[in-house]
Each structure stands twice: as structure tokens, then as C-alpha cells.
């Protein structure tokens, strides 16, 4: 249903603060000449990373900042979201009643639903944000409604935001590990460059994967057999090796 209506899901979060300190991590060095980080550093301010993430194709929109007030976050969000909306395919034409019902269905089950505006355009984007007061300012919420964006607020650590936090950890690790930025501007340059590199060949994020398969297998009481792809319904007892038998006999002798 969502895909037919051109509905997409984006998530938003702010990462940081990142300090002007040496970051441990690997680097390419000559053999026997490891890269050494200084044992002293100067706290010269911090930087944060504003992040919009599209899990379906892995695209990330990121901007480094030294402060993350509403006066900085909201204009950036409006600019990026406007670009995203303009890149979407043409919105389908729905009658007002069907359109409003589509908006309202995303409010079902919420303990504190948002009061929708009287006139609503076609719903285009679901924007997942954390449950912060700054994300709920009336001016910003009404702006999103006008542009066909439904804000959905989740608790800290909510599942969709976990994806955004994952891409932020990837950007931080690739951009800062092994580096010693001296200023917040250096941190911002490293993180933004890493985000641009990521977008050249992004990786879509999907639910499931190896961890989900392990949990599903555990629920079904399946025990994998190495090398064959098959499984058993109960664990296979391992044979004691000669060394284990010798150790057991020694313990009994004592």
C-alpha cells in the first residue's frame, strides 16, 4: 500500500558530541613503525552530526554542526526534506476523505496522537524521530504537514532509530578511528566526507539477517551442523577426545 502511494520512510537523529581527542583505530603504517597518538590533547570544543537516513536504499544525508539548537536543526531539516519530497514520483490524486483516513491510520494506537491540520496534502513521507520536545514545536510540525510529511515519535532506542544510530556508528568509525582532530571543523570535515563516500555505494538496511536467523532457529530448537547447512532437533553430543579422557583419568587418580 505504501509503495503504491509513493510513501517512503526516513529517520532522523543527531549523533555526538564528538570531542577533539585522539580516536583509537587501525591505520596503514610501515611494518615495525606503528602510528602513535599523543598522550596529551586539548579539549577544543565538540561537533555533532545531523543525520537523515533512508533505510530502503541506504542513502544518508548528514551535516556536521557545533551546536544542535532548533534554530540550526529545523532549517536544515526543512531544506533536506523539501529536496527529498521534490525527488519523489508524482503524488497520486486521492479524494479528501480517503487522504485524511490515510493520515489518521498512522495515528492509531498512539498514546498522544498529534492533532492533524484541517487541510492535508497527499501523504508522502513517514519521518521517524526521537521523542524530544524540540521535534514537536507547532511551527515545525505544521510545516511537515504542509509538505506531506507525517512525524512519528519513538522512545529513545526505538527500533527504527536503531538503524539511524547504526549508520551513525559506521560514519563515526570510518571517519574518526585512528584520527586526532584538533578542531571541531576537522571533525565535521571527516564525518561529512565519510558520508559522501558512503553514498557513492550505499548499503540498504533490512530487518533480519544472521542475528534474526539465529533467534528463529533457537525458537524452533534447531541446532546447525557445521559445513552441511542441515540441522538437528537436539544437540549432538560431542565425543571426548583422547586428551580429555586423559585429563579425566588424572583427576580421578588424584
Cis peptide preceding 50, ω within 30 of 0: no
**Residue 53: C-alpha distances to residues 123, 126, 138, 149, 234 (Å):** 19, 12, 23, 15, 42
pLDDT in tens, 89-140: 887 777 788 888 888 888 777 777 787 878 888 888 899 988 888 888 889 9
Residues in the chain, total: 254
How far from the centroid of its chain's Cα atoms is residue 10's Cα? 10
Beta strands of the chain (E only): which ranges?
A: 8-19, 46-54, 59-65, 125-130, 149-154, 223-224, 231-232
Count of CA atoms in the C-beta half-sphere (13 A) of 227: 0
pTM over 0.85: no
Three-state DSSP class for 64? strand
What are 46-70's pLDDT values in tens digits? 999 999 999 888 999 999 999 989 9
pLDDT of residue 6: 62
Q: What is the pLDDT of residues 68-92, one digit of tens each?
A: 899 999 999 999 999 999 888 887 7
Higher pLDDT, 250 or 181: 181
Q: Which domains does the chain have, with CATH numbers?
A: 8-200 (3.30.420.10), 215-253 (no CATH)
**Do the Cβ atoms of 152 and 127 come closer than 8 Å?**
yes
Query: Which residue is it, cell 540550526?
Result: 72
Assign 11 to helix, strand or coil.
strand
253, 245 contact by CB (below 8 A): no
Number of continuous H segments (helices) and E segments (strands) in the chain: 7, 7
Amino acid at each position: 500500500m505504501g509503495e503504491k502511494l509513493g510513501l517512503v520512510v526516513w529517520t532522523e537523529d543527531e549523533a555526538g558530541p564528538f570531542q577533539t581527542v585522539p580516536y583509537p583505530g587501525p591505520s596503514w603504517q610501515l611494518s615495525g613503525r606503528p602510528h602513535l597518538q599523543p598522550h596529551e590533547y586539548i579539549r577544543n570544543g565538540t561537533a555533532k552530526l545531523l543525520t537523515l537516513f533512508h533505510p530502503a536504499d541506504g542513502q544518508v544525508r548528514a551535516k556536521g554542526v557545533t551546536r544542535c539548537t532548533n534554530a540550526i536543526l529545523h532549517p536544515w531539516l526543512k531544506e533536506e526534506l523539501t529536496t527529498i519530497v521534490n525527488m519523489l514520483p508524482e503524488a497520486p490524486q486521492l479524494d479528501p476523505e480517503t487522504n485524511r483516513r490515510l493520515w489518521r491510520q498512522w495515528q492509531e494506537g498512539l498514546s498522544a496522537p498529534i492533532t492533524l491540520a484541517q487541510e492535508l496534502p497527499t501523504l508522502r513521507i513517514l519521518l521517524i524521530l526521537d521523542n524530544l520536545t524540540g521535534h514537536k514545536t507547532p511551527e515545525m510540525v505544521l510545516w511537515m504537514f504542509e509538505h506531506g510529511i507525517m512525524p512519528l515519535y519513538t522512545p529513545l532506542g526505538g527500533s527504527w532509530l536503531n538503524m539511524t544510530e547504526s549508520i551513525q556508528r559506521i560514519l563515526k568509525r570510518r571517519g574518526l578511528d585512528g584520527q586526532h582532530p584538533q578542531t571541531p571543523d576537522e571533525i565535521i570535515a571527516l564525518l561529512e566526507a565519510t558520508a559522501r563516500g558512503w553514498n557513492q555505494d550505499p548499503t540498504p538496511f533490512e530487518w533480519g539477517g544472521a542475528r534474526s536467523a539465529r533467534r528463529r532457529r533457537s525458537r524452533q530448537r534447531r541446532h546447525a551442523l557445521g559445513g552441511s547447512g542441515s540441522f538437528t532437533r537436539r544437540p549432538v553430543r560431542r565425543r571426548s577426545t583422547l586428551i580429555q579422557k586423559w585429563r579425566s583419568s588424572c583427576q580421578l587418580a588424584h
